[in-house]
Amino acid sequence: MTPKLFSDLGLSPEILKAIDKLGFEQASPIQADAIPVLMSGKDVVGQSMTGSGKTAAFAIPAIEKTDPLQRNVQIMILCPTRELAVQVSEEVHKLALFKRGINALPIYGGQSYERQFWGLKQGAQIVIGTPGRVMDHMRRGTLRLDNVKMAILDEADVMLDMGFREDIEFILAALPKERQTVFFSATMPRPIQQLIEKYARDPQSVRIEQKAMTVPTVEQEFYEVNRPFKVELLTRLIDIHDYKLGIVFCNTKRMVDDLVDHLNAQGYSADRLHGDMTQAMRDRVMNKFRKSGLEFLVATDVAARGIDVDDVQVVFNYDLPYDPEDYVHRIGRTGRAGRSGRAISFVSGRELFQIQHIERFTKMRIQRGKIPTANEVEEARASVFVDKVREILQGGKFKPQDHLVGRLLEEGFTSTDIASALIHLLQGDEAPQAARSEDYDRPERAPMRGDARQDRFADRGGRGEQRGFDDRRGDRGGRGGFDDRRERAPMRRPEPSNFRVADVREKQQREAFVPKRVIPPAGAPKTFVPKTVTPKTVTPKPIAPKTVIPKAPEPVKTEKPTAPVSEAAPSEPKKPLPFPDRRPETTVAPKKVAKSTKGTPGDQTRLHMNIGEELGFRPADVVSIIMGETGVPAKHIGTIDMREKHLFVNVTAEHAKAIVSKLNRAQVKNQKLKVKVA
């Protein structure tokens, strides 16, 4: 197809000025074919790959057909998700920048009705909304569609997959029959065709050939890797290619949350995007990602439909999508607007057949990748560091420190030693490479903790100390490169449920009750030393009264029978001094500790909390939360019984009410705490 300029499409000067300001000159294939047909007033069915410019293809004719003098809704655009509605709204605002009097309003769930009421009263001519919220306004009478000239369904296949068919038919049935109807979608399944047959009038088909469905500028490859090692492979690929901006797709919301926690714990800047998040949270994450405030966005398919960031370098399919059409949508997030991009998929076992199915669907070959070894990752990080130093040296962006270097040279240090020491300081106090290479061969991987963030954030060269790979098998033609003998050992968190704060306090108090060796009085050493020399006379005597040992617990149970102890006092000088001192002490201490930690129902109260192991909480975290939020000392916290989705904790009865009231106002890891007496 011969490329067309926007100036050849018969557009108004205001639109051409806005396009020129956005930096576009040549129309994409879908824009070149769809804009003239839409400008002629015919219904259109457009099919093209994700990221090919469909938004501008229908937004430009919609703006051109809008009358700025009429203050009513003339264009209705339906989108499947909030993010896509916001994206389309932003695109319309940019293209209508020089069209005076034209207002576009996004309408979607999660936003306050008052703002939308105000926008509709101001006379918005172009409404971009999700089906559910549009229907709400129609029922309230705040949105009138009597003057709609054009109805556009963007990502129509996704709306049907999300169950919006009845909503779409309700909205289309309320529109004037003389309207112009436009369907845009990446795929055209049978339900879409049924809608087209029912609501479109002699539609013109504008379709990009199937061979271009997956963006030719995207380099696609897959790695065969067992599930427990996906995090390891992900971080290695990030480090070896030095990716700065990417999207990671998972199939479930729980997998999204777990992966974000793993990446953040290892020093990567990542955040999540899925359907359980509020609209304010999703907007905050997307704004941060668009401004490159995040390195990686971990998302599900539905939540990621509205992602439109031009500079995304890579898309990771951490989980392969169930449908090849979703694969097309995913990899379309990179390689946009003619830029190059990369799509990397992780597969294991039978998922290899899904790769073959995707290849048949997209009519493109997906290359098998070779898993990088630990040495390759080290070399890549070293190259990145050297490139940064070289850039600083070539640009002269540093303050000369000749006097400091001169002082070290005068003391006899060589220039290479000085430079090596400075590099060592920059990279942190890490073990040498020989020692680190041993870490990769360890059978178990230490659990990832947040205290590694500071060292890893200091420089990219300090990230990615991964374990769990068997690098000696890493060149098996890309077939995994892992040691199957320790396939399940890494990445498994130790069971935290056997942890008891009471046990720790019991041990501390028991040690406190064991007396230190007391130095006897002045005359005692003389009698104490010979005691070890004369076992004949001393041994029989202690053994006979030693039958009194069962009486030792008696004074503990009732404090009054202390008389036997006082009677045995005269015989104490004949016995080794530490023995009689230690015996009553050790018997008393456990009794006191057990009474204070285990407690009776009257001493402690059992509380129920709505957090558990599923959210990554450990007993130590629970203690920190209670102490931090309420100020209650740890000695008032008893046994913690961790469950998958909740936990039980024993606290002293006198503090229970205060703990419940304060924790119910707290929020931890985006989870609002709910605490009640069990």
What pLDDT, on the 0 to 100 scale, is given for residue 50?
Answer: 60
589 and 620 belong to one structural domain: no
Give the list of residues 6+ apart from residue 632 with CB closer than 8 angstroms, or none.
Answer: 626, 651, 655, 658, 659
pTM above 0.75, yes or no: no
In a domain, 305, yes or no: yes
517 and 468 belong to one structural domain: no
In a domain, 500, yes or no: no
In a domain, 497, yes or no: no
146 and 259 belong to one structural domain: no
**Which residue type is seen at 595?**
K
Last residue of a domain, one of 534, 567, 597: 597
In a domain, 13, yes or no: yes
93 and 66 belong to one structural domain: yes
Block mean pLDDT (10 aa), the chain, length 678: 75 91 78 91 83 84 93 94 88 92 91 90 93 93 93 89 89 92 85 90 80 66 90 91 91 88 90 84 87 89 69 91 80 76 87 83 87 82 77 78 82 82 68 37 36 39 43 41 40 45 53 48 47 45 46 46 43 45 43 38 79 84 83 84 88 87 79 85
Per-residue burial over 204-215, b if 16 or more Cβ lie within 10 Å, else e, is: eebebeeeebbb
In a domain, 525, yes or no: yes
The owner of tokens 């999508």 is 321
Query: How many folded domains does the chain comprise?
Result: 4
529 and 467 belong to one structural domain: no
For 410, counting Cβ atoms within 10 Å of its Cβ (0-12 exposed, 13-18 middle, 19+ buried), the class is: exposed
What pLDDT, on the 0 to 100 scale, is given for residue 25?
Answer: 64
CATH of the domain at 159: 3.40.50.300
**Which residue type is seen at 412?**
G
CATH of the domain at 635: 3.30.70.330
Last residue of a domain, one of 547, 563, 597: 597
What pLDDT, on the 0 to 100 scale, is given for residue 306?
Answer: 62
Residues linked to residue 153 through DSSP beta bridges, in sequence order:
78, 183
Residue 514 CA, distance from chain mean position: 48
What pLDDT, on the 0 to 100 scale, is given for residue 346?
Answer: 94
Q: Name the residue range of residue 437's domain.
A: 214-492
In a domain, 638, yes or no: yes
Calculate ∠ Cα 606-608-612, nearest 5°. Answer: 125
520 and 610 belong to one structural domain: no
Strand segments (E) across 71-146: 75-78, 104-107, 126-129
Distances in Å between the Cα of 223 and the Cα atoms of 296, 297, 317, 362 are 19, 20, 10, 18
What pLDDT, on the 0 to 100 scale, is given for residue 3?
Answer: 58
223 and 150 belong to one structural domain: no
How far apart CA 74 and CA 67 sit, in angstroms, is 8
Structure tokens at 124: 């918005």
What pLDDT, on the 0 to 100 scale, is given for residue 671?
Answer: 78
In a domain, 409, yes or no: yes
121 and 195 belong to one structural domain: yes
631 and 488 belong to one structural domain: no
408 and 543 belong to one structural domain: no
What pLDDT, on the 0 to 100 scale, is given for residue 631?
Answer: 78
How far apart CA 183 and CA 195 sit, in angstroms, is 9
What pLDDT, on the 0 to 100 scale, is given for residue 65?
Answer: 93
What pLDDT, on the 0 to 100 scale, is given for residue 214?
Answer: 53
Would you say 660 and 607 are in contact if contact means Cβ atoms under 8 Å apart? yes
In a domain, 499, yes or no: no
352 and 389 belong to one structural domain: yes
Residue 535 CA, distance from chain mean position: 70
Would you say 58 and 180 are in contact if contact means Cβ atoms under 8 Å apart? no
Q: At what angle do helices 54-64 and 29-39 cross, to 10 degrees?
A: 20
What pLDDT, on the 0 to 100 scale, is given for residue 430?
Answer: 42
Sign of CA dihedral 551, 555, 561, 567: positive
How far apart CA 58 and CA 62 sit, in angstroms, is 6
Last residue of a domain, one of 528, 562, 597: 597
What pLDDT, on the 0 to 100 scale, is given for residue 128?
Answer: 95
Residue 569, sorted as left (phi over 0), alpha (psi -120 to 50) or beta, turns out to be alpha
What pLDDT, on the 0 to 100 scale, is given for residue 604?
Answer: 87
355 and 410 belong to one structural domain: yes
What pLDDT, on the 0 to 100 scale, is given for residue 672?
Answer: 81
Going by C-alpha positions, the residue among 54, 8, 5 that lies closest to residue 34 is 54
